[in-house]
Amino acid sequence: MRFKSTLAGILIALSGCNTLKVGISSGTSMGVAKEGAILARPLYFNASVELNEQLNISKKAGTVEGSIEVFHVQYEEPKKGFLSGLGIMGRYLTPTKPIEFYAEAGAGPAYLGIQTREQGDPGFNFYDQFGCGIRYALSESASITGGYRYAHISHGRLRRTENRGLNTHSAIVGLQIKY
C-alpha cells in the first residue's frame, strides 16, 4: 500500500494533476517469426494522469493521458521466453461517456530473454507499440477497456546482431481505477 501511495504522489506531483488512474490489462498476442508462429501472453500495469490542463486542451475536445507502463510478455511459441520492460504511453480518448474510444502509442526499453533469428541473443531491445480500443465507465471510479495493440521489438542496431525486428498483434482487456 505504501508503494502505491508513493507512486501516486510522484506521478501527481510531476504532472501537476490531481487525478491518477491505475490499470491492469492482459490478452493474447500473435505474430510471425523465422522459427514459426508467435503466441504470447502480455501483462501490463500502468499509472496514468490526465494532461489536458497542462497541454491547454479543452475536455470538450477529448481527454489526453500520459502514462508509465510496466509490461511483461510471456512467449509460448515458437520458443518459451519473455520480454519485460518499462514504457511511456500517450492516449487520446473521445469525449463520449460512458463509452470512450481511444488511440494510444508509446515506447520504452525492454529485455528480451529469448534468442531469435530476428534479434540474436537475449538482451536489450526497444518495445514500440500503438493501438486503439474502447473504455466503458462502470462507475465514476472504475472502467473496463478492450482493444487492439500492435507491438514492434527492435534493438535499433545497438548490438552486433542482425535487427529484423519482431511484430505482434494483440487483443487486450483490462480494468482501470481512478483515484
* Mean pLDDT to the nearest integer, 140-147: 96
Q: pLDDT (tens digit, 9 = 90+) per residue, 67-120?
A: 999 999 999 999 999 999 999 999 999 999 899 999 999 999 999 998 888 888
Domains of the chain: total: 1
Whole-number pLDDT of residue 19: 80
Banded model confidence at residue 13, pLDDT cuts 50, 70, 90: low
* Mean pLDDT to the nearest integer, 118-146: 93
Whole-number pLDDT of residue 164: 80
* Mean pLDDT to the nearest integer, 124-149: 96
Least confident of 10-24, 56-70, 72-86, 115-129: 10-24
Inform me whether the pLDDT recorded for 41 exceeds 70: yes
Whole-number pLDDT of residue 5: 54
Nearest Cα neighbor of 52 from 39, 63, 41, 66 is 63
The span from the CA of 134 to the CA of 19, in Å, is 20
Expressed as residue numbers, the domain containing 27 is: 2-178
Q: Residue 28 belongs to a domain with what CATH number?
A: 2.40.160.20
Which long-range contacts (C-beta less than 8 Å, at least 24 apart) are formed by 93-97? 93/62, 93/63, 93/64, 93/65, 93/135, 94/62, 95/59, 95/60, 95/61, 95/62, 95/63, 97/137
